[in-house]
Structure 1
Amino acid sequence: MDSHGQQDEQRIVWAVVDTGIGPLLLAATREGLVNVVFHATDAVRHRALGRLASRLGGEPVEAPGSPLLAEAIRQVEAYFAGERRAFELPLDWSLISGFNRQVLRELAAGVPFGQVVGYGDLARRVGQPGASQAVGAAMGSNPLPVVVPCHRVVESDGGIGGFGGGLEAKRKLLALEGVLPEPLF
């Protein structure tokens, strides 16, 4: 393939950033941040990059210095340092569609730092009042956790609810945002 042909491919850049909840893989396309993956050990990273290549086409390239990733890394680090409350990054929603995308966009736009929402409340906000289980599934399929804050969705009875990154990570994120007391250990 000549160099012109490669330009037409989706360019995916990625980097790993160390955070208070362990290493996060950040991946971006020309459109914006496309994927955030928890517990980004070598094995997890390898699987995640393979999924991205097959879903989006093109081979992901490690490029922490690319302008979009550098800004995403700065914002993620500032968030974990307690210096940033909102992410201001272009997002590429191409890994998710339909109801799940609708719910996640509402979550990103409508549930700010330090607040939580119930699964049922979020279902009502997108006009599907009976769909709290579907909202749970949408949170589980969130390709942009932390940045699209599925950790802010909790059970109406006060339970913390599930979390793709594990409950310890969810507790730490909610503690960082002042919703829960800091874990003692």
Structure 2
Amino acid sequence: MIIGYARTSTLDQVAGIEAQVRDLTAAGCEKIFQEQVSSVDVARREQLELALEFTREGDTLVVTRLDRLARSVSHLLGIMETLRGRGAELRILGMGIDTATPTGKLMLTVLSGVSEWEREIMLERQRIGVEKAKREGKYKGRKPSAMLKSDEVRRLKADGLGATEIATRLGIGRASVYRVLSADA
């Protein structure tokens, strides 16, 4: 069976998920798992887990691009090990890679290493740019959103709620609740 997996990072990327589903359908996918969750976050990617569990011997998991599937080389290798253990293969449409062939396996490993290197270089450049902007007084950083809710935090605390419940209700981190409350002490 040919199984597809589509992912976008945010709910705003409706066209992106639709395009992936269209391409996966055109590639002959009989079942498509799809989700909208960031690959960078450590959030569980439930549909990917379900797709991997669904695969059986002789199946092929198909994605449109490598970055839709794996966060890093080690994550990719873990996915590949899972597929191999199930007797399944991986095909990446945008790269023309199919792990059913030895060349496909080699190319996937090499290209994923280059992709991870490229991402690390980009992050390093970003850090350098932020440092330069800070030195020049141009970098302001993110506005402290939790502190904007400090009055609400205090009110809920006065109502007898605990930090976890306050954080949940206000959509902020528990540490931010403690930070607001400790500023009052």
For the superposition of Structure 1 and Structure 2, which TM-score range results when normalised by the shorter chain?
A: under 0.3
TM (norm. structure 2) is 0.28
TM (norm. structure 1) is 0.28
Greater helix fraction, Structure 1 or Structure 2: 2
Larger radius of gyration: 2
Higher relative contact order (CA 8 A, sep 6+): 1
